[in-house]
Amino acid sequence: MLNKKVSYQGKESIWSYVIFLKVRELAHYLTSKKEKLDFVKPEYEIERIDSYDIRQKILSISYVDWKKLGFSKGTLHYMKQNAKSDKPFTLNSHVLERVKAWENLVSGG
């Protein structure tokens, strides 16, 4: 998440750099070098991929179909454990692509 890009001060920066700038801004505020402090901008947005639909898709994938897509049984096993739990989880982009490919494979698209 810290490598996600965000528009800040008129240019695209990654979150880790924006956090660095905000910490420096806080230091300047605490040492009276700066009178204003703004932690509202840029606004942090979380894009969750562990929606109910994704969880249901993961739970409905068979191990045979998953193997056809080139992944191991263990990967699907842990994904199914995550999908069953109430906790948020993430998927690597290539795994998410395979989940979507499986959906197209099943629906005939």
Terminal-residue alpha carbon distance, the chain: 32
Of the candidates 73, 93, 94, 76, the one whose C-alpha atom is nearest the C-alpha of residue 84 is 76
| Residues contacting 10, CB < 8 A, separation 6+ | none
Output the pLDDT for position 109: 47
Q: What is the mean pLDDT of residues 84-108?
A: 71
Q: Which of the four pLDDT bands, split at 50, 70 and 90, describes residue 99?
A: confident
Distance CA 86, CA 88 (A): 7
Q: What is the pLDDT of residues 15-57, one digit of tens each?
A: 888 888 888 888 988 888 878 777 666 665 656 566 677 777 8
DSSP E strands: which ranges in the chain? Answer: 5-8, 11-14
Per-residue pLDDT tens over the stretch 56-80: 787 888 888 778 777 778 878 888 8
pLDDT attached to residue 20: 86
Which pLDDT does position 48 carry in this prediction?
59
